[in-house]
A = this chain, B = another copy of it.
Amino acid sequence: MRKTPTQARSRATVERILEAGRQVLVDDGYETFSTNRVAIAAGISPGSLYQYFSDKSSILDIVISRYWDDVSERTASALALQASTVGTPAIRSVADALLAGLEQDPALLRVLTEELPASRNRDRHAALVNRVRDLTAAYLRAGSVGLTRPDPQITAWVLVVAMENIALRWVLDRPPYPREAVVEEMVALTAGYLARV
């Protein structure tokens, strides 16, 4: 942020820029994401844009942050809701929440994960994974489920990384499997993993 807007008008302008940034990203893609395009989409001039943002990257950063914060919030809160529940219903609703979080804005998700270099999302994404992993590890340690694996930390990590990719690939690649079927597979995968053999 180069200059903090004080008047209502300029605050609205900053907001318009960010919305336009998201729009250009979704409509035109990352490759053609240019400050001039953003300015046009926001209905302002390039010069105005650079009064509030130091460079193109900083606009992107905020758009990206907003998205991941949103997903993170949704997912973690859904997970927290189930902290006291046990068994497959708990797993099912977490799997569902994961899918729902990613289904929130698939167009932006696609651009962020497929067109941007993954390193752009790295920190934000790692934060999300760690957050969910720790919640999961705590849940496992709480012992509501019989612990069959030696290290809850690894187990939680494995679960999160596996589930995330299943959900992500299903949302983005749209394989011909119905949503409920995928949820059930996610439940079975998790339940089988955690159940004593």
Contact = CB atoms under 8 A, between A and B. Distances in A.
A37 B24 CA distance: 31
Interface residues of A, number: 42
B115 A185 contact: no
Contact of A118 (B113, B150, B165): B113
Contacts of A116: 117
A149 interface: yes
Task: Give the number of times this chain occurs in the complex, counting copies.
Answer: 2
A197 interface: yes
Contact of A157 (B151, B177, B197): B177
Among the interface residues A151, A165, A181, which one has the most CB atoms of the partner chain B within 10 A?
Answer: A165
Among the interface residues A113, A154, A181, A195, which one has the most CB atoms of the partner chain B within 10 A?
Answer: A154
Contacts of A118: 113-115, 118
Contact of A30 (B117, B175, B185): B117
Contacts of A154: 177, 181-182, 185
Contacts of A158: 166, 182, 185-186, 189
A12 interface: no
A64 to B, nearest CB: 14
Given A115-B117, A154-B182, A166 B177 contact: no
A159 to B, nearest CB: 8
A188 interface: yes
B189 A189 contact: yes
